[in-house]
Structure 1
Amino acid sequence: MSKAIVLDNKLKKVSELALPQRYMQIKEHNLYLYVKSYLASLRANNAEAKKRGEVSGGGKKPWNQKGGGRARAGSITSPVFVGGGVSHGPSNNRNYILKINKKQKRLALEYALLQKANDNKLFVVDSVAVSSGKTKDAYAMFKAIQQKNVLFVAQMSDEPTFLAFRNLQQCYLIDSNELNAYLVANYRAVVIEKAVLDEIIACDKGE
């Protein structure tokens, strides 16, 4: 059974917390679908090129239909001319959003947490607050985890804690309402408050 590592206020291991057995049955495909949907939602849909009907000018034929020895041309907005419209260019009316339902989002998050627990990189603490607001104190928490980068999850972070973490590139502090499967999977380790993990597990039971 997969277990999260419970840490005390000095970030020393004191016990382990077993994740629900049901997590073992979740398919990896749920995480794949969520990550694909999440990244698609971040795409900036602003690339656009003007078609020949949108380019200004072109009211008069550039030269006579016959007698010039050249191919006939009806408008300088044609894609064959410099400054004309673009054939099959990008359009900003494309929708990249991929729909994923709430159940799949929850399953993806549970699977991501399970993988972190399997790798012994899911840590549970009573609080991630840094009351001093000092970056050196937040950095000490990060160093105690001994990972390349760490996601810290608080139920509701206060301003001093936010200020302490904001300049640390190896850390990312979020509130529980911002937690998602992509962030969990993207970081080497996750430090989560016990109250937040209890809420996630309680949702599984329909409580």
Structure 2
Amino acid sequence: MTEVAVYNQEGLKTGEAKLSALFEAKLNRDVVQQAVVAQKANERHLIAHTKTRGEVSGGGRKPWAQKGTGRARHGSIRSPLWKGGGVAFGPRNDRVYKQKVNKKVKKLALQQVLSEKARANLILVIDSFSMEKPKTRVMEQLLQKLPLGSARTLLVLAKNEKAVVAASRNIARIAVTTAQDLNTVDIVSVKFVIFEKDALSVLEKMFAK
């Protein structure tokens, strides 16, 4: 079993903890890629939208006779060839990018990236973390005391702590989530992962189901 350092809320090392077999999965890059690509695709918010020639108003009448004018033949002023006409192959906000991934694959991908972090000694554990009031300064001081450098870090809590989330909002290099909401993209987007001790228990119960 992999051992990780345990710290208190003041950033002082209090001991070490052994991670469960959950963090010993073998990496399969195809599984991780499938989970990441699907999640990114499902998070897409489509804004850009163009109208086709069938949706642009006007242009029902042929602009001029087919023959005899000396001009190129046209059937509608809403052709993509015309200014103000429809757009051919433009972006559409009704395009479906959704991808379906089995729950088993999602779980497997998450377990594998967590295991990779554990093998690389990029996981830390904190006894507990809570705040009465959101204070960015307190969060910043903790991060400076931990062996993180300036690397992007994910703090995984056992339950949602609004004060902690608010205190982290102004610090670009840290993200906060709960064990229940943890996903593969969260893990691969950062270098270090800090688990609240109780969050590990929540995670193990999730994978035991």
* TM, length-normalised to structure 1: 0.87
Separation in 1, partners of 2:157, 2:140: 16
Q: Does 2:82 correspond to 1:81?
A: yes
Aligned pair 1:62/2:63, yes or no?
yes
Q: After TM superposition, give the deviation of residue 21 of structure 1 in Å.
A: 6.7
Q: CA deviation at 1:52?
A: 1.4
Aligned amino acid, residue 69 of structure 2: G
Aligned to 1:40: 41
2: CA distance between counterparts of 1:195 and 1:85? 57
Q: For residues 88 and 159 of structure 1, do their structure 2 counterparts lie closer, same or farther at Cα, with a shift above 3 Å needed?
A: closer
Distance in 1, Cα, partners of 2:187 & 2:87:
42
In structure 1, C-alpha distance between the alignment counterparts of 2:36 and 2:104, rounded to whole Å: 14
**What is the CA distance between 1:73 and its match in structure 2?**
1.7
Give 1:117-132 correspondences, 5 Å limit. 117-131=118-132
**1:36-93 Cα shifts (integer Å, max 9, x gaps):** 1111122222332211121111132212222111232221112222111122323222
Q: Cα offset for 1:22?
A: 7.4
Counterpart of 1:91 in structure 2 is 92
**Which sits farther off after the overlay, 105-114 or 155-164?**
155-164
The answer to whether structure 1 residue 180 and structure 2 residue 144 are counterparts is no
The Cα of 1:183 is off from its aligned counterpart by: 0.7
Task: State the alpha-carbon separation in 1 of the partners of residues 25 and 161 from structure 2.
Answer: 35
**Distance (Å, rounded) in 1 between the aligned partners of 2:87 and 2:208:** 56
Q: In 2 relative to 1, CA 102–161 (structure 1 residues): closer, same or farther, beyond 3 Å?
A: same
Mapped partners of 1:58, 1:79: distance in 2: 12
Question: Superposed, which structure 2 residues align to 1:108-119 within 5 Å?
Answer: 108-119=109-120
Structure 1 ranges of 4+ moved more than 6 A: none
Where does structure 2 lack aligned partners over 5 or more consecutive residues?
A: none
Q: For this pair of structures, how many residues does the alignment match?
A: 206
- Structure 1 residue ranges without an equivalent (≥5): none
Distance 2:108 2:196 in 1: 20
Q: Secondary structure at the match of 1:61?
A: coil
Greater mean deviation of Cα atoms: 104-113 or 24-33: 24-33
Report the aligned-residue RMSD.
Answer: 2.2
Task: Write out per-residue CA displacement over residues 123-146 of structure 1, whole angstroms, 9 at most, x where no aligned residue.
Answer: 112212234532221111111223
Structure 1 residues 86 and 161: alpha-carbon distance in aligned structure 2, compared to 1, 3 A threshold: closer
The answer on whether the counterparts of 1:150 and 1:171 sit within 8 Å (CA) in structure 2 is yes
Amino acid in the other structure paired with 1:129: S
Partner residue in 2 for 1:18? 19
Cα distance between partner residues in 1 of 2:129 and 2:30 = 31
Q: What TM-score, normalized to structure 2? A: 0.87
Could you tell me which amino acid in structure 1 is paired with residue 87 of structure 2?
A: V
State percent identity of aligned pairs. Answer: 33
2:207 alignment partner, one of 174, 187, 204: 204
